[in-house]
Structure 1
Amino acid sequence: MRNMKKITTTAICSVSAIIGIVLTNYSDEIRTSRAGLELIGNAESCIRDPYNCPAGVLTVGIGSTGNVEQKRYTDEEIARRWVDDIKTAEQCVNRYANGFHLPQPVFDAAVSITFNCGCANMRTSTMFKCLNNGDYRAACYEFPRWNKSNGIVLNGLVKRREQEKLLCLSFQGI
């Protein structure tokens, strides 16, 4: 009998389907626009089974890291977890970056990076200081600086930060 490796499959889910659920069932709970959700969702991807992200953190769904159980998640569970995570990032942007007054594209980009990097890392950042001072252009140009995980530049983060920067700069007042 030959040695057989156990074959495991990872169940992916549709970011578009999850965005549809969020916009249909939870849009009154979050401010992040469809453009912001698409940026975050496409950067994170959607996976039903828990996995370790590049930083070694147990993750599921669309970048959700809190209280991850070892099970396969449904679309509704993923959508609910994502809304809660988006709300956490939005609360940070509102509290530490004058989020209530940010133009929508700037807000969406700030929520995306906060979702990815965490409030503790962002709240004292130069980017948030610029947002608090109304210097949106300077804040937008801070995104590329946040391209590392554990000190290593990751191509996925380089691409994500460029997309966030472009979304941030899309505000007509800049």
Structure 2
Amino acid sequence: LQQDLAKFEVGVSRLVKVQLRQNQFDALVSFSYNLGLGSLQSSTLLRLLNAGDYAGAAGQFILWDKAGGKAVPGLLARRQAEQALFKEVS
């Protein structure tokens, strides 16, 4: 697990061009671990984040709740948890 996570930590660090708090970084690693770095790389979430729109980026997490084009309650719960972690104020 640590080796797998290291790949995503490096990938998030490479893709994100703005300053992150630890909780924001952790939320993005979780997101990328579940969806892949390619999904993060091509996402509006990353585009908004790198433009400095942290609130807009936070709003994007819950849009990633589908599998096979259908909303999945378990994915929504995961995205909501990642969103809450991202928005947490240290």
The aligned counterpart of 2:6 is 87
1:159 equivalent among 77, 84, 87 = 77
The aligned counterpart of 2:21 is 103
Give the Cα separation in 2 of the matches to 1:133 and 1:161: 21
Give the Cα separation in 2 of the matches to 1:104 and 1:120: 22
Over the matched positions of the two proteins, sequence identity in percent amounts to 34
| SS of residue in 2 equivalent to 1:141 | helix
Q: TM-score, normalised by structure 2?
A: 0.90
Structure of higher CA gyration radius: 1
Runs (4+) of structure 1 exceeding 2 A deviation are none
Tell me if structure 2 keeps the 8 A contact 1:148–1:157. Answer: yes
Q: Please show how residues 13-162 of structure 1 align to structure 2 within 5 Å.
A: 82-98=1-17, 101-162=19-80
Tell me if structure 2 keeps the 8 A contact 1:141–1:165. Answer: yes
Give the Cα separation in 2 of the matches to 1:106 and 1:138: 13
Q: Which amino acid aligns with 2:80?
A: E
Identify, as 1 or 2, the structure richer in helix.
Answer: 2
* Alignment RMSD (CA, Å): 1.4
Residues 45-66 of structure 1: CA deviation (Å, up to 9, x unaligned): xxxxxxxxxxxxxxxxxxxxxx
Q: State the Cα distance separating 1:120 from its structure 2 match.
A: 1.1
Q: TM-score, normalised by structure 1?
A: 0.49
Q: State the Cα distance separating 1:91 from its structure 2 match.
A: 1.5
Point out where structure 1 has 5 or more consecutive residues left out of the alignment.
1-81
Residues 99-121 of structure 1: CA deviation (Å, up to 9, x unaligned): 7x311111111111001000111
Tell me if structure 2 keeps the 8 A contact 1:109–1:167. Answer: yes
Give the Cα separation in 1 of the matches to 2:87 and 2:17: 17
How many residues in Structure 1 have an aligned counterpart in Structure 2? 90
Q: Which amino acid aligns with 1:96?
A: L
